Amino acid sequence: MATTNASITISNSDMIPGMAMNYYKTATLHQAGGCVGLTKIQSGSKEFTSASIVDLLATTEAKLAGANKLYIKNLSTDTTEYFTITIHAEELGRLYAGDWMFIPWTPTDTSDDVRVTPSVASSMKLEYVLVHE
């Protein structure tokens, strides 16, 4: 049985003076409705050279029904550059240089594709990983 784990650590010693914060969580990623681990992975990086909207992931693999998890990271080092992330015309937010996100994603049709829009027309890169059933 496949086992895929995701972990996050958030720590800060000076956010609130005198109160250090340390937060660590880990989760085993399972298929929908059971204890079987997610078994497939799709990953890569993309370079954008225009400020046009681009489908990051096409929902071609049986609509990817189930408990899919998506990681996206903005690889830019310019703090003014960001990617706007949308799903079904709803803006999830902006990933500025070095920012990343990890979300569940279960598209039901092609309008649920993950779309990214670079803030500039010059070269910007992102990386992504989709762990799915």
Helix (H, G, I), strand (E, B) or coil at 95: strand
pLDDT of residue 77: 95
CATH number at residue 47: 2.60.120.10
Residue 13 lies in a domain: no
Residue 15 lies in a domain: no
Residue 7 lies in a domain: no
Residue 127 lies in a domain: yes
CA dihedral 47, 75, 56, 84 (to 10 degrees): -110
Residue-wise pLDDT tens digits, 3-23: 888 999 988 877 677 777 888
pTM reported for the whole predicted model: 0.84
pLDDT of residue 59: 55
Cβ neighbours, 10 Å, residue 124: 23
The confidence band for 62, taking pLDDT boundaries of 50, 70 and 90, is very low
The confidence band for 61, taking pLDDT boundaries of 50, 70 and 90, is low
pLDDT of residue 42: 85
Among all chains, which residue has been given the structure tokens 């990271």?
Answer: 73
Residue 5 lies in a domain: no
Helix (H, G, I), strand (E, B) or coil at 8: strand
In the chain, the largest separation of any two C-alpha atoms, in whole Å, equals 52
The total of structural domains in the chain comes to 1
